[in-house]
Amino acid sequence: MSEPGVNAADNVVHTTPGEYLALVKSLVDDGFTMCVDLTGVDYLTHMARPLPADLVAERFEVVVNLLDLAARRRIRVRVQVPEAEPELPSLFDLYPGTEAMERETFDMFGIAFSGHPDLTRILMPEDWVGHPLRKDYEVGRIPVQFKAANA
């Protein structure tokens, strides 16, 4: 075990919003023809997580898992997304299937994707305020009264 949570077989590449699109484009050309997953992570309380030395830790990360079907290779792209400007270019033109996943990441984390054809909320109602999977989003609790229960 080198680093907790990182499997030796995992192939991880870190990047910044500015280089994100060019990097993914080069991976597509390299043979990673399938985007398995695209999601966000809120590292609100883990700003000191281990990262490559030349990278500034930001609050959000967008994680993209890619698969090369022909050569059976997988790779994980981790992008640092700043809280002040949570926006990335959309991968829709490279992977049409990311349309729904980018909508979900927008809905749950409030990370916008420029160039997305329809960046609307996908799970929450359209007029919902807030982004539920952010770590500072309060978990609502509704008190339940069990009338029939004996005290």
Partner 1 sequence: MTTTDPRPSDYRRFVAGTDEGDQQLKPRSELTATELMREVGSVLRMSEAEAAQLGDLPDDPDDDQTMIINMGPQHPSTHGVLRLMLELRGETVLRCKPIIGYLHTGMEKTGEQLAYMQGGTNVTRMDYLSPIANELAFAMATEQLLGIDEDIPDRAVWIRMLMSEMSRMASHLLFMATNGMDLGAVSMMIYGWREREEVLRFFQEVTGLRMNHNYVRPGGVAADLPAS
CB 132 to partner 1: min, Å = 6
Long-range Cβ contact pairs of 124-127 (< 8 A, separation 24 or more): none
Residue 30 in contact with partner 1, rule: CB under 8 A:
yes
Q: Which is nearer to partner 1, 29 or 146 (CB)?
A: 29
CA distances (Å), origin 77, targets 40, 66, 131, 146: 11, 8, 23, 48
Residue 124 in contact with partner 1, rule: CB under 8 A:
yes
Residue 25 in contact with partner 1, rule: CB under 8 A:
no
What is the phi-psi region of residue 5: left when phi exceeds 0, alpha when psi lies from -120 to 50, beta otherwise? left
Q: At 57, list the tokens.
A: 């830790």
Please select the residue that binds partner 1; options are 53, 56, 84, 139, rule is CB under 8 A.
139
Q: Which is nearer to partner 1, 4 or 147 (CB)?
A: 4
Please select the residue that binds partner 1; options are 36, 63, 112, 122, rule is CB under 8 A.
122
